[in-house]
Chains A and B, each alone.
Chain A
Amino acid sequence: MTPRPDRPAVSSQGYWRRNLTYVGSLLVIWFGISYGAGILFVEPLNRIRLPGTGFPLGFWFAQQGSIYVFVVLIFVYVYLMNRLDREFGVDEDAE
């Protein structure tokens, strides 16, 4: 691995801005699935069935779907951040 120069102040700001964008977008999904589909819009969604099952859709989001989405969100975040760390040369492999 080639040694990388110390991060200059400008790129460090760029790194932080990109980080905030990722976190913000993922939290919008987080909010939409749990508070949106699972709580605020649960009743209209309950009129729809998850196809082929007995689950009313809103109920399913509240008791199953939101949890699966939470897991996926964290792994997406890990992937995005590891890529970003390498891009800006602030990852921990070069130490």
Chain B
Amino acid sequence: MTVTAWTFVLVGLSFALYIGVAVWSRARSTSEFYVAGTGVSPLANGMATAADWMSAASFISMAGIIAFQGYDGSVYLMGWTGGYVLLALLLAPYLRKFGAYTVPDFVGDRYYSQTARIVAVVCAIFVSFTYVAGQMRGVGIVFSRFLEVPIHIGVLIGMGIVFFYAVLGGMKGITYTQVAQYCVLIFAYLVPAIFLSLLITGNAIPQLGFGGVDQTSGTFLLDRLNDLHGELGFTAYTSGAKSTIDVFFITAALMVGTAGLPHVIIRFYTVPKVRDARISVGWALVFIALLYTAAPAVAVFARTNLLTTVSEQPYAEMPEWFTTWENTGLISFEDRNGDGVIQYVGPRAQDAAGAAIENELTIDQDIMVLANPEIAGLPNWVIGLVAAGGLAAALSTAAGLLLVVSSAVSHDLLKRGFRPDITEHGELIAARVSAGFAVVVAGYLGINPPGFVAEVVAFAFGLAAASFFPAIILGIFSKRMNREGAVLGMIAGITFTAAYIVYFKFINPGANTAEYWWFGISPEGIGTLGMLVNFTVALTVSRFTPPPPPQIAHLVDLIRVPRGAGEAHEISG
């Protein structure tokens, strides 16, 4: 069977599975719609969290970014896993005990303030929308490459599927669909990784294989890759080009941002008990680590394969995958010296006489995971499987984000904000309508992406780090923290972070170099500084304004001990 035929079969089967699960688990009440009736087992919730968390960026882009950045790519590996330690130790158990439906619920109730609630709703909607547009784009790329349909048809099909199970099933439908999607995506990621590891190093475990011996040269694979990098004028793979302070700040922004992302936090409202919330974060990280520890191995295999396949080879003899990706515009070759041979080299490349060699090949880093099985000549079904896995990753994340947007509108804005008298039935209809509306907007953004989607997605972390994280932490760990401190802290943190990013990315992109950055911190890492600004402002302001009312101190005492966590519920007050 051809690649396209295999892709149709595998993608079709996986979609049928998702729809089946969605029909079986549709939501009947607001509690089921928002938090799956708090009846999800910790293991299933861990798996669903992993699928929710691992987006098209984790599945499709991350290994490619690491392949091109080497050690510097570690910021994503540590940043997107280390946040779960913060989530487990500082947030999840307390938020579960608090027992609300959404993140703005916690912020609004803990800080006894509609203003705080509205600020939190706006942050949640903004963060989630930027994120979801990137997912729909990922869906479009997979469809256009493997099923050879135009990107907009691909996005429409993806929208249809997400619409069906997010709108019908709410959190309950999404959770069980995500369990299925996790199984599909992890299988699709590990199968080619194991194949490649066996081919290149003879070790079936990719996590060990990339530290092993390369079968063709007999030296350690990492040494061989470093040598190749040296010959071609790239920075050594195992050391980085970024400054230490920048690596530090980017890692911290991604970690704290992870712990502050609303679609991740609400997952821990769905389990029955506080104890389940704790262990559930652990399971989530186990399932995430399966992919995240394999990704750097895939990156090394992909990089080695790429360099040995294309470098100094005649353009006319390039294999079929090269031409197919060239047609999508994601690989481009320009024969600058007219010798018909591909020179793929780094900035420091020199020939024998010491003259600089010009690079002739540009490769989009997003194609590495998708193209990898083809580059290595793996069977066609593996390639189809990777396409199905990429779709599972994109759809599961999109659905989780859409739920945040819909609950922010129907629950935080209507029920707890402007229309407190709304019936449960009316709230459920509002939730479904806003989920449907959000799908359409996300689809539109996926078909007509603003040029900066990818960048904005990365900044969603910085913004979450600078806004939610300090407000929630202080709400749990400081009884003295009051409304004034929390609101001004959130506003200061998010304004500072957004201003820095907007300045360097949109107003004055020419100055976006280490020379002009504050303390050498890039816009990707500025969320960490924004978080510190938030903490400082909040702590200072709270010292000069009245303490919170006594019932808030009582509320904080209650969330600090596990006993008495009932179902997620409305909190009066």
A residues with a Cβ closer than 8 A to B are 7, 12, 15-16, 19, 23, 26-27, 30, 34-35, 38-40, 42-43, 46, 50, 53-56, 59-60, 62-64, 66-68, 70-71, 73-75, 77-78, 81-82, 85, 90-92, 94-95
When distances are taken between beta carbons in the complex, the residues of chain B under 8 Å from A74 are 84-85, 88-89, 278, 281-282, 285
Considering the complex, give the chain B residue whose CB is closest to the CB of A54: B220
A27 vs B100: C-alpha distance in the bound complex, in angstroms?
A: 27
Top 8 closest pairs, chain A to chain B, by CB: A54-B220, A53-B211, A62-B74, A74-B282, A63-B296, A55-B211, A54-B222, A90-B561
When distances are taken between beta carbons in the complex, the residues of chain B under 8 Å from A62 are 71, 74, 77-78
A85 vs B239: C-alpha distance in the bound complex, in angstroms?
A: 45
A53 vs B238: C-alpha distance in the bound complex, in angstroms?
A: 14
Known: A40-B244, A54-B212. A66 touches B78 (CB 8 A): yes
18 cross-chain CB contacts under 8 A: A7-B563, A34-B78, A35-B251, A42-B71, A43-B239, A46-B238, A54-B222, A55-B222, A66-B77, A67-B77, A70-B81, A70-B289, A73-B85, A77-B278, A78-B279, A82-B275, A90-B563, A94-B563
B251 adjacent to A34 (CB under 8 Å): yes
When distances are taken between beta carbons in the complex, the residues of chain A under 8 Å from B172 are none
A10 vs B395: C-alpha distance in the bound complex, in angstroms?
A: 49
A68 adjacent to B293 (CB under 8 Å): yes
Please pick, from B71, B82, B278, B292, the residue contacting A78 in the complex, using a CB distance under 8 A.
Answer: B278
When distances are taken between beta carbons in the complex, the residues of chain B under 8 Å from A82 are 275, 278
B220 adjacent to A46 (CB under 8 Å): no
The verdict on B49 contacting chain A, using a C-beta distance below 8 Å, is no
When distances are taken between beta carbons in the complex, the residues of chain B under 8 Å from A53 are 208, 211-212, 220
A62 vs B244: C-alpha distance in the bound complex, in angstroms?
A: 13
When distances are taken between beta carbons in the complex, the residues of chain B under 8 Å from A67 are 77-78, 81, 289, 292-293
The verdict on B557 contacting chain A, using a C-beta distance below 8 Å, is yes
Considering the complex, give the chain A residue whose CB is closest to the CB of B272: A92
A39 adjacent to B562 (CB under 8 Å): no
B77 adjacent to A90 (CB under 8 Å): no
A81 vs B286: C-alpha distance in the bound complex, in angstroms?
A: 19
14 other A-B residue contacts (CB within 8 Å) besides A15-B560, A54-B211, A74-B85: A16-B560, A26-B89, A27-B85, A34-B251, A35-B251, A39-B247, A53-B211, A67-B293, A71-B286, A74-B89, A74-B282, A81-B93, A85-B563, A92-B274
A85 vs B57: C-alpha distance in the bound complex, in angstroms?
A: 39
Interchain nearest-CB distance for B248 vs A (Å): 5
Interchain nearest-CB distance for A32 vs B (Å): 12
Interface residues on B, range: 35 or more
Q: How many interface contacts (CB-CB < 8 Å) are there between A and B?
A: 136
Known: A54-B213, A62-B74, A91-B275. A35 touches B248 (CB 8 A): yes
Q: Main SS of chain B's interface residues?
A: helix
The verdict on B420 contacting chain A, using a C-beta distance below 8 Å, is no
Interchain nearest-CB distance for B216 vs A (Å): 15
A31 vs B513: C-alpha distance in the bound complex, in angstroms?
A: 28
Please pick, from B85, B238, B274, B292, the residue contacting A30 in the complex, using a CB distance under 8 A.
Answer: B85
A70 adjacent to B84 (CB under 8 Å): yes
The verdict on B90 contacting chain A, using a C-beta distance below 8 Å, is yes
The verdict on B36 contacting chain A, using a C-beta distance below 8 Å, is no
Considering the complex, give the chain B residue whose CB is closest to the CB of A50: B211
A72 vs B223: C-alpha distance in the bound complex, in angstroms?
A: 30
Q: Main SS of chain A's interface residues?
A: helix
A15 adjacent to B77 (CB under 8 Å): no
A66 vs B304: C-alpha distance in the bound complex, in angstroms?
A: 24
When distances are taken between beta carbons in the complex, the residues of chain A under 8 Å from B281 are 74
Considering the complex, give the chain A residue whose CB is closest to the CB of B70: A59
Known: A54-B212, A77-B88. A63 touches B563 (CB 8 A): no
A16 vs B208: C-alpha distance in the bound complex, in angstroms?
A: 41
A62 vs B90: C-alpha distance in the bound complex, in angstroms?
A: 23
A56 adjacent to B222 (CB under 8 Å): yes
B563 adjacent to A92 (CB under 8 Å): yes
A12 vs B557: C-alpha distance in the bound complex, in angstroms?
A: 9
B248 adjacent to A7 (CB under 8 Å): no
Interchain nearest-CB distance for A44 vs B (Å): 12
A82 vs B277: C-alpha distance in the bound complex, in angstroms?
A: 12
When distances are taken between beta carbons in the complex, the residues of chain A under 8 Å from B561 are 7, 12, 15, 90
List which B277-322 residues lie within 8 A (CB) of chain A: 278-279, 281-282, 285-286, 289, 292-293, 296
A12 vs B563: C-alpha distance in the bound complex, in angstroms?
A: 12
A63 vs B93: C-alpha distance in the bound complex, in angstroms?
A: 28
